[in-house]
Structure 1
Amino acid sequence: MTPPEALAPSTSCVVTGRPHAPGSPVNPPLVLTSTFVHGGEHTYARETSPAFTPFEEAVGVLEGGRALVFASGMAAAAAVLALVPHGGVVVAPRSAYMGVLTLLREAAETGRITLREVDLTDVTAVESALPGAELLWVESPGNPLMEVADLPRLLAAARAVGVRSVVDNTFPTPILARPLEWGADVVLHSATKYLSGHSDVVLGVLVTPEDEGGRGAYDSLFHHRHLHGAVPGPMEVWLALRGLRTLAVRVDRAGANAATLAARLAEHPAIERVRYPGSGAMLAVDVRGGATAAEHVCAATTLWTHSTSLGGVESQLERRRRYPSEPDLVPEGLVRLSVGIEDVEDLWRDLARALDAVLSAPTPDRP
């Protein structure tokens, strides 16, 4: 077989992690066991399991490193935070996924870490915050404001002063970005989202460089997963690998849909602002009329699913400030859209109808 490093990402999604011996099944079997007969490669499934290997191999090849699968994206995030010594400084975005921000802010409140929140789009501000830090946490595009950070510059700045970096690559996926190539020390995915792609799995994954030099995190992350029991079930990993096979075609189709919708939304009178990073399938809009109007839009769609999460084949939308823990920087009328793979004209008709309806509905700003 052609070496994985010579393959296009779309091909790696399909072929990596498959058995190739004569007579073997085309798909890796689902291994349902918690323990193994003594004397072999595996001992106990909280440590390692053949159920994890094909998925970890496939994600590792796509990102260009070594992957570790976790029970959820937040379990993976907690493992990264465990790399920081007690009282260590973490530089993190002031607006990011609210679960991660809550994790970091609660750790800061208890004195577990010292948190420096910055605007990731301001390279100078990030560079000023890095001296003395242990970890730089990067998310680009940001969730849900869709800010785009200059990842190569930020990661180079962190490396120059000896600060370990983690990049949440959930939104772009390795189809659109490979942060390890820009100098990241750890890449994080909520595999619940695009990697699995079907809204039926809760899973996380971390990837570190193959050659980590003196900055190695893999062994520490592996130890954390084993000791804290942050391992997934084999069925979830098997489903995620099945979903990963179509990652490239899903990203391509959903991204094309998103670009079309972003252009049309920018022309709609019910929309105050479109937040679209220029690629990928995620965008957000500020609806005129604030929270009430935004909720009306979400409730009025019939094809778009009004639900949280993202990255599935189905299109989803929600008003993010409905959650108390969402940062105050997020406007009350912001609606986040995860664009799926449906026909774009069907998606637009459904969304346009909801937007048209809100134009005539009374709101606090439009009596």
Structure 2
Amino acid sequence: MTDEALRMETVAITAGRPSPYPGHPLSTPIVLASNFRADGAVEYARDGGTDTWQALETAVGSLEGGDAVAFASGMAAAAAILESLPTGTSVVVPADCYAGVRTLLNEGAAHGRWKVTAVDITDTAATEQAAWAADLLWLESPTNPLIDVADLPRLCAFGRDRGAQVVVDNTFATPLLQRPLAAGADYVLHSATKFIGGHSDLLMGVVVGRDPAAAAPIRRRRQLAGGTPGALEAYLALRGLRTLPVRLERAQASAGVLATRLAAHPGVSRVRYPGLPADPGHARAAAQMAGFGSMLAFEVVGGAGPADAVCAGVRVAVAATSLGGVETTLERRAKLAGQGHIPAGLIRMSVGIEHVEDLWADLDRALTAATA
């Protein structure tokens, strides 16, 4: 059967495997090589990659439905897209998106590389108006850290109709929950450090172009700028990808339970999770996603002080910056520079695969103590 005939959960297991010949390993080994014998398909790793990189790229590309290029980090992947743009490019970006991308864009704008317009990505009409003459429309859905949901089908179609390149950061949803290339995006971005790797033990990024022609300039930027992935990291990311379906299923189920209980907790003023029927992004997410994901955010009564106390008081969950791992993490995103639109008491939570009742007991105890 072809990848197209298989369900996504199966593609995550089968794609990127070595040739099925007797005696061959089931998984692509770690290839520790920078140089190769002349006259082969690849002569230098930076130019064409290794079998380990290529296996990961094949697997992620199969899941997203495009041509994938692996990078040393999510930021290296994002930079490769932006560095391929001509000087003077007009970029429209969500006001609520990954802080590193906003910082990179703002620094480029300060040096005259491009013009940046930030928009409320949930306001589709306002986003279209801002992007009417844009060269690049950068989308993120769900957003980081407010978990807002953009109308991806409409915005991708609008960008393509206007002749703008459309990039979608799909890190939070993963290709198992949405496939932006099918909605008309030109590029999909992943911080593979997060859900793809899944174990908080690697840094990697991936850009997936809609076809080889779209991926070619991104691969060229990797070759020239040197944002190449490590051999061990590529191996670990592919190994993590194999368990993404079961990890995401468990974490997503727990996220739904925790979001519902947090919404009823007296120490919480608001929960941001599209799986809740009352969430502003619920109908949109239900229409365009295969699930609501395992990322949520909640606002603690009393603001920054009690929210800090919650993060300090948990014992099962971990106060940590990153997300998408097997462990549940909490982060106070309002502490980051340039994130003034974030409510003072906001906590972003990445739900892991611990037992949901242990997680709830931990959160309930910390919240009650912090807001008593």
Secondary structure at the aligned position of 1:18 is classed as coil
- 1:213-248 Cα deviation digits (max 9, x unpaired): xxx431110110000001011110000000000011
Matched AA of 2:9: S
Matched AA of 1:286: E
Equivalent position of 1:269 in the other structure: 266
- 1:118-140 Cα deviation digits (max 9, x unpaired): 11111111111122211000000
Matched AA of 1:46: R
The answer as to whether partners of 2:28 and 2:51 remain within 8 angstroms in 1 is no
Matched AA of 1:151: L
Equivalent position of 1:108 in the other structure: 109
Cα distance in 2 between the residues matched to 1:82 and 1:133: 16
- Taking the TM superposition and a 5 Å limit, the aligned residue runs for 1:253-332 are 253-278=250-275, 279-325=292-338, 327-332=339-344
Cα distance in 2 between the residues matched to 1:44 and 1:202: 22
Equivalent position of 1:4 in the other structure: 3
**CA displacement at 1:265 relative to structure 2:** 0.1
**CA displacement at 1:266 relative to structure 2:** 0.2
Equivalent position of 1:147 in the other structure: 148
- 1:290-317 Cα deviation digits (max 9, x unpaired): 1110000000000001100100000000
Equivalent position of 1:364 in the other structure: none
Cα distance in 1 between the residues matched to 2:88 and 2:211: 29
**CA displacement at 1:210 relative to structure 2:** 2.8
Matched AA of 1:40: G
Name the Cα RMSD after superposition: 0.9
- 1:181-209 Cα deviation digits (max 9, x unpaired): 00000000000000110000100000011
Matched AA of 2:10: T
Equivalent position of 2:15 in the other structure: 16
- Taking the TM superposition and a 5 Å limit, the aligned residue runs for 1:128-143 are 128-143=129-144
Cα distance in 2 between the residues matched to 1:21 and 1:68: 26
Aligned-residue sequence identity (percent) comes to: 53
Secondary structure at the aligned position of 1:299 is classed as helix
Which ranges in structure 1 are unaligned for 5 or more consecutive residues?
361-367
Cα distance in 2 between the residues matched to 1:267 and 1:32: 52
Equivalent position of 1:343 in the other structure: 355
- Taking the TM superposition and a 5 Å limit, the aligned residue runs for 1:111-122 are 111-122=112-123
Matched AA of 2:324: G
Cα distance in 1 between the residues matched to 2:329 and 2:251: 12
Matched AA of 2:57: E
Aligned residues: 354
Equivalent position of 1:174 in the other structure: 175
**CA displacement at 1:150 relative to structure 2:** 0.4
> 4+ runs of 1 displaced by more than 6 Å?
none
**CA displacement at 1:50 relative to structure 2:** 1.5
Matched AA of 2:299: D
Secondary structure at the aligned position of 1:207 is classed as strand
The answer as to whether partners of 2:259 and 2:271 remain within 8 angstroms in 1 is yes
Secondary structure at the aligned position of 1:336 is classed as strand
The answer as to whether partners of 2:295 and 2:351 remain within 8 angstroms in 1 is yes
Stretch moving more, 37-46 or 241-250: 37-46
Equivalent position of 2:278 in the other structure: none
- Taking the TM superposition and a 5 Å limit, the aligned residue runs for 1:213-228 are 216-228=213-225
The answer as to whether partners of 2:84 and 2:221 remain within 8 angstroms in 1 is no
Kindly indicate whether residue 240 of structure 2 is the aligned counterpart of residue 243 of structure 1: yes
Which ranges in structure 2 are unaligned for 5 or more consecutive residues?
276-291
Cα distance in 1 between the residues matched to 2:85 and 2:120: 21
Cα distance in 2 between the residues matched to 1:209 and 1:154: 16
| TM-score, scaled to structure 2 | 0.94
Secondary structure at the aligned position of 2:116 is classed as strand
**CA displacement at 1:54 relative to structure 2:** 0.7
Equivalent position of 2:283 in the other structure: none
**CA displacement at 1:18 relative to structure 2:** 1.2
| TM-score, scaled to structure 1 | 0.95
Secondary structure at the aligned position of 1:51 is classed as helix
Cα distance in 1 between the residues matched to 2:21 and 2:222: 31
